[in-house]
């Protein structure tokens, strides 16, 4: 039995199902880290105990804060919104793969093939652990993450991945987004000189000529992306798990904050009900 603030959660946390649950989401709330041009998350107590005898809060946020899933319509016009994505896309089995990466390093198709080419299955959820989730704070995390390049997206399409999640800021390298020279960027102009120094003189416009190419490849092929994975990620890295990450039923939603959960059934005894009549 688990007690929290004097309340028993028997059958829930200390569960009778025999399953192990792992939270793979970062915290959401007051001063959660944000992408460089987002407004801060605002949470207001509209009713509280001294005033109303109940607690009721109003939240103002982008749905692309903390751990979240993108709908294809977020980047590719004319593709499904989050409420139009079939429900099986938000549940399934898959693998959590270790792939240590440092500042601004690329994640390529060759990297993925070496890490999990022999273990990935068609229809899998693929979660990548670069180690960058340990840097998740209001600062360097967003600008200096490692990131996928186009060959990684093409590899996922070839392998039939259903959903990809990762502990970095976007489904692309940060300099292939508006953080760098793309679209309405650069949000952080000083990175141009830093990239040149980092690479021995390269121009970031030459190295990142396309706008979010991995987003484009994934979304046009029905593969969704979970960004900013964290929490207990290390505890399930190197394992095959079952995942659940349902978004809100938000009409024409471009994405949604999620609670990404990994589940492991060591006994293999748990079952999903068959829907038999009562």
pLDDT score at 66: 97
Q: Which residues contact 176 (CB under 8 A, 6 or more apart)?
A: 147, 149, 182, 208, 210, 211, 212, 213, 214
Measured CA distances, 148 to 66, 225, 246 (Å): 19, 11, 24
Structure tokens at 205: 């416009």
* pLDDT tens by residue, the chain, 278 residues: 566 676 665 544 457 788 999 999 999 999 999 999 899 999 999 999 999 999 999 999 999 999 999 999 999 999 999 999 999 999 999 999 999 999 999 999 999 999 999 999 999 999 999 999 999 999 999 999 999 999 999 999 999 999 999 999 999 999 999 999 999 999 999 999 999 999 999 999 999 999 999 999 999 999 999 999 999 999 999 999 999 999 999 999 999 999 999 999 999 988 889 999 99
pLDDT score at 4: 67
Give the position of tokens 């890490």: 115
pLDDT score at 12: 46
Q: What is the pTM of this model?
A: 0.94
Pairing mode, strands 42-47 and 20-23: unpaired
What is the CATH class of 22-264? alpha beta
pLDDT score at 271: 86
CA dihedral 28, 34, 40, 44 (to 10 degrees): 0
Tell me the torsion sign for CA atoms 129, 84, 210, 35. Answer: negative
pLDDT score at 3: 62
Distance in angstroms (rounded) separating the CA atoms of residues 141 and 244: 25
pLDDT score at 18: 86
Q: State the helix-helix crossing angle for 109-116 and 150-159, rounded to 10 degrees.
A: 40
Q: What is the chain's alpha carbon radius of gyration, rounded to the nearest angstrom?
A: 20
């Amino acid at each position: 039995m688990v007690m929290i603030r004097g309340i028993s959660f028997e059958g829930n946390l200390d569960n009778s199902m025999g399953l192990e649950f792992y939270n793979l989401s970062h915290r959401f709330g007051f001063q959660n880290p944000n992408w460089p041009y987002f407004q801060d998350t605002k949470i207001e107590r509209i009713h509280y105990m001294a005033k109303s005898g109940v607690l009721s809060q109003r939240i103002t946020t982008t749905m692309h804060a903390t751990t979240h899933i993108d709908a294809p319509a977020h980047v590719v016009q004319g593709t499904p919104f989050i409420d139009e994505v079939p429900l099986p896309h938000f549940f399934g089995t898959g693998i959590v793969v270790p792939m240590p990466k440092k500042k601004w390093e690329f994640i390529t198709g060759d990297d993925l093939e070496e890490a999990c080419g022999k273990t990935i299955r068609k229809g899998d959820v693929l979660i990548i652990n670069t180690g960058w989730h340990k840097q998740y704070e209001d600062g360097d995390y967003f600008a200096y993450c490692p990131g996928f390049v186009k060959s990684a997206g093409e590899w996922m399409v070839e392998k039939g991945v259903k959903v990809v999640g990762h502990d970095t800021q976007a489904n692309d390298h940060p300099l292939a987004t508006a953080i760098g020279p793309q679209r309405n960027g650069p949000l952080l102009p000083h990175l141009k000189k830093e990239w040149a120094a980092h690479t021995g003189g390269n121009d970031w416009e030459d190295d990142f000529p396309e706008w979010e190419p991995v987003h484009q490849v994934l979304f046009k092929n029905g593969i969704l992306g979970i960004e900013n994975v964290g929490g207990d990620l290390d505890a399930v890295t190197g394992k095959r798990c079952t995942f659940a990450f349902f978004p809100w039923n938000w009409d024409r939603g471009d994405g949604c904050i999620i609670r990404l959960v990994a589940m492991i059934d060591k006994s293999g005894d748990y079952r999903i009900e068959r829907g038999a009549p009562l």
